[in-house]
Amino acid sequence: MVDVSASMFFRDDDRSRGRVQAVAIGPELTVSLPTPIVRPYAVSGLFLELVDLGNDPRPFLEPDMNAGLHIRPQFGAGLDFGGRNGGVWLELLHSLGGGVSYTSYNVGLTSRGPKANSGRLAASVFASRITPMSRSYSPDDDFRGYALSIDVPAPIPFGEAIRLSLGIDYVKFGAFSTGVIHVLGGAVADLARTKNGVLAVHWSPQIGVSIFAEPAGSPPYPMVALGLDARLTFGGVGLSGGLVASGSNGPEGFFPGLTIRIGIVAGR
C-alpha cells in the first residue's frame, strides 16, 4: 500500500524568552506491506521550512530551530503488530536540516474489547534527541525529551477515557544542566464521528503542573493543554487537521504555544 500526502505545519510559541514562528510544507510518502501478522512500513518526506525568531537570540535551551529558510529531509520506518482488538506499534523517525539532527523513537500499545464500543486502553512512550550540528556545541551536549501517555476507559462527563501524561525534558550544555517534569491529567473523547467513518473529530483537554529542577526549590507551576484532531475521508482521499494549544507558567513567566497541522492524503 502506498500513501502520498502533502502536509503543512505551523508553530507559534513564546517558550524561550522570545516569540518563535515557523512554517513547514512538503510532500510525504508512506509505503507499507499488509502482511497477516505485522505491517512494516517506511516513510520519507522533504519539507521546506521558514523560521522567524523575531528578537530571540536563539537560546541554547532550544537548539531545534534556527532562523532562516531550510530544507528538512525526513525518513523513518516502523512495525505495526495490529489486530481487531488492538496491537503494538514501533516507529523510528529521523529528520535533519537547519543545523540540527532530530531523532524520535515511539512505542505504542492499544487494547480494545470484542465490541466496537467497549472502550480502549492505550499507552504510548515517546523519546526524542536533538543533535546540534553547529560548532557552538560539543559532542557532550545533550538535549532529550521523554513522554508517557495512558488512556484508561471511564464513564466521565464530556469524555470516554481518562488521559494521564508524564513528560521529562533534560538539557546538558557545557557545565550547565537542568530538567523539567510535566504531569498532566484530563479526558479524551470523540466530538463527532459518522458510522461510515467519513468524518471523525477527536479532542483531549488536560491540566497539570510543571516542575523545574532549576532554580532549586522552585514550586510546581500550572500548565494546560488542548489537543484536537479531525479527519474527513471521501473517495480514497483524506483531509486531516490537528491543533495543539498549550499554556505553561515557569520561573520566567507565562509561555503560550500553538501548533497546527493540515494534510491531504491519497492512497491505493
Cα(93)–Cα(76) distance, integer angstroms: 4
Sequence-ordered alpha helix ranges (H) in 62-111 = none
Cα(94)–Cα(75) distance, integer angstroms: 6
Domain interval for residue 98: 2-267
- 76, 46, 13, 245: CA torsion to nearest 10: -60
Q: Higher-confidence residue: 90 or 214?
A: 90
Q: What is the pLDDT of residue 113?
A: 52
Tens digits of residue pLDDT in 223-251 = 999 999 998 987 778 889 999 998 887 77
Q: Looking at the 3D structure of the chain, how many domains does it have?
A: 1
Least confident of 23-32, 80-89, 121-130, 256-265: 80-89
Q: What is the pLDDT of residue 118?
A: 47
Cα→Cα distances 222→109, 163, 213, Å: 29, 17, 15
Q: Is pLDDT above 70 for 31?
A: yes
CATH code (residue 149): 2.40.160
Q: Is pLDDT above 90 for 26?
A: yes
Tens digits of residue pLDDT in 121-180 = 889 999 998 777 665 666 677 778 999 999 988 887 777 889 999 999 887 777 777 888
DSSP string, 217-240: TPPPEEEEEEEEEEEEEETTEEEE
> Does the CA dihedral 8-14-18-19 come out positive or negative?
positive
Q: What is the pLDDT of residue 33?
A: 87
Q: Is pLDDT above 50 for 95?
A: yes
**Size of the chain in residues:** 268
Report the candidate in 142, 236, 149 with the shortest Cα–Cα distance to residue 198: 236
Of 116-125, 145-154, 194-203, highest mean pLDDT = 145-154
